[in-house]
Chains A and B, each alone.
Chain A
Amino acid sequence: MERRLKLSASGNYSEGGAGRYVVRPHDLLWCAEQSVGADAPAWANPLIARGGPFVVRRAPRASDCLPVGVRGLARHQRFAMTIAADQVMKTVTPEQCAARIERPTAKRRQAIPALDALPALAATLDSRRLCWGVTGAVGYELATDEASCHAASDIDVLIRLPQRLTRRDAAGVVASLAMLPVRCDIQMETPLGGVALADWAAGNDNVLVKSDQGPFLCADPWVRSVAHERASRSAAG
C-alpha cells in the first residue's frame, strides 16, 4: 500500500522520480474486489471482480476517482471505467515494468520477438540516459507474468521528458530504435501530455498531444499555448 498515493490535478506526468506517488496514465493498478457494473462486457467481468489489473487512462479526473481501462486479450477488448482512488492497493509504473525485462522465460522469449528484443531496447535507451518505461501488452505481461503478447506485438515505450528533447535528438532515437528487430511505438510524456516521438521527430508544424482533457494540436508540447488553454477550457465547459 502506497501511503502517499495521490491524484494529480495538473495533468503533467512528465517528471520521473519526483512524481512517483502521482498515479499516471499507463500505470497498472490492483484494487480490492470491485462490483461489476451492468455495462461491463462478459470478458471483463472476472478482471473487474478480482480487482485488476487496471490501466490508468488519460481522461478528466474527479477528486477521488481514477479513469482506468480493462484490457482483454483481443485488441478490441478494452473497457473504460473509473475506480475510487482509495481502493488502490498496488501500482506498477511503466518504469517498474522496464526493470522486469528479465522476467520472461527463455521459451516465452523465443516465441515472442517483442520480449526477446527488450534487452537491446534497454541498452539503446539507457545509453541516451532517458527515463523510460514499457506500456501496452509487453508492459502488462512484464507486470503480471500473464501471457499478453503475441508474436506480432510491437513494444510500447514511454519516455518521461520534463525538459525538451530537440527534434534532432528525437530523430536520433527514432533511427537507433529502427535498428531493433521489433517495431517500437514510442510516446514522449511531455508537460502538456503524450506525444508520439515520430510525430515530433518528423518536424511537422504541429504535433498531436494527448492530454487528460482530450487530444489537441500544438507547435511545442513544452510550452503552454493558446491551443492547450482552449482544449482545457472546452473540456471543463
Chain B
Amino acid sequence: MQRLSLDYPAGAPAAARALAGVVGSGDLEVLLEPAENGRSTVAITTSVDGVNDIWTAVIDRIFADADQPAVALEINDFGATPAVVRLRIAQAMEQAASGAGRT
C-alpha cells in the first residue's frame, strides 16, 4: 500500500461533491469534494507498489489547466491503468460540474 499526495493551482471551488468508480481490480474509486479557492489537492492510495512516477505524470496532465475548478480528490486505486484513471476522474469532474453527483 502506498500513499501519494499532489497539489495544483486551480480556479474557483467546484460546484458539488461527486463519487465515481468502483472497488475492483483494474479500477479505482474517486471521491471529489469542492476545495478552497485556488488550490486542488489529490491524495492517492494505491495497492500497487512502485508506480508513483506514472501516477504523478497522469495527474499532472489532468491538472495542467490552472483555471479548472478547485477540487480535493481522494483516490483509492486497485491497479487501474492510466486510461482508466483519466476516465474516472473526468467522470467525477463532470458529475461535480452538473451538480448531479452521488452523495
A residues in contact (CB < 8 Å) with B: 75-76, 136, 156, 185-187, 196, 198-199, 202, 204-206, 208, 210, 214-217
Interface residues of B, Cβ cutoff 8 Å to A: 20-27, 47-51, 79, 81, 83-84, 87-88, 90-91, 100, 102
**Partner among A75, A196, A205, A214 whose Cβ is within 8 Å of the Cβ of B24:** A196
Asked if B83 contacts A75 (CB within 8 A), the reply is: no
Given A76-B48, A76-B50; A215-B84 close (CB under 8 Å):
yes
Q: Find out whether the CB atom of A208 lies under 8 angstroms from the CB atom of B79.
A: no
Chain B nearest Cβ from A49, distance in angstroms: 25
Query: Can you sample 13 A-B contacts with CB below 8 Å?
Result: A75-B47, A75-B49, A76-B49, A136-B25, A187-B24, A196-B27, A199-B21, A202-B22, A205-B100, A210-B26, A210-B84, A214-B83, A215-B84
> Of B22, B47, B48, B87, which contacts A215 at CB under 8 A?
B87
Chain A positions within 8 Å of B91 at CB level:
206, 208, 217
- Check A198 against B49 for contact (C-beta < 8 Å): no
Q: Are B24 and A208 in contact (CB under 8 A)?
A: no
Contact of A199 among B22, B25, B50 (CB under 8 A): B22
Residues of chain B lying within 8 A (CB to CB) of residue A214: 83
Q: By DSSP majority rule, is chain A's interface helix, strand, loop, or mixed?
A: strand
Residues A156 and B25 in contact in the complex (CB < 8 Å), given A208-B88, A216-B87? yes
Complex-state Cα separation, A204 to B91, whole angstroms: 10
Contact (Cβ within 8 A) B25 A208? no
In the complex, are the beta carbons of A215 and B24 less than 8 A apart? no
In the bound assembly, the distance between CA atoms of A205 and B18 in angstroms comes to 13
Q: Are A75 and B88 in contact (CB under 8 A)?
A: no
B81 touches A215 (CB 8 A): yes
Chain B residues lying within 8 Å of A202, measured Cβ to Cβ, are 22, 102
A75 touching B84 in the complex, CB below 8 Å, given contacts A198-B24, A210-B26: no
Inter-chain contact A75/B23, CB cutoff 8 Å: no
Q: When chains A and B are docked, how far (Å) is the Cα of A187 from the Cα of B26?
A: 11
CA distance A61 to B51 in the complex (A): 27
Given contacts A202-B22, A210-B84, 20 further A-B contacts (CB under 8 A): A75-B47, A76-B49, A76-B50, A136-B25, A156-B25, A187-B24, A196-B22, A198-B24, A199-B21, A199-B22, A199-B27, A204-B102, A205-B100, A208-B84, A208-B87, A208-B91, A210-B26, A215-B87, A217-B90, A217-B91
CB distance from B49 to the nearest CB of A (A): 5
- Given A75-B48, A76-B50, A208-B84, verify A198-B22 contact (CB < 8 Å): yes
| Residues of chain A with a CB closer than 8 A to B21's CB | 199, 208
**Chain A, Cβ-Cβ closest to B81:** A215
- Complex CA distance for A98 and B23, rounded to whole angstroms: 23
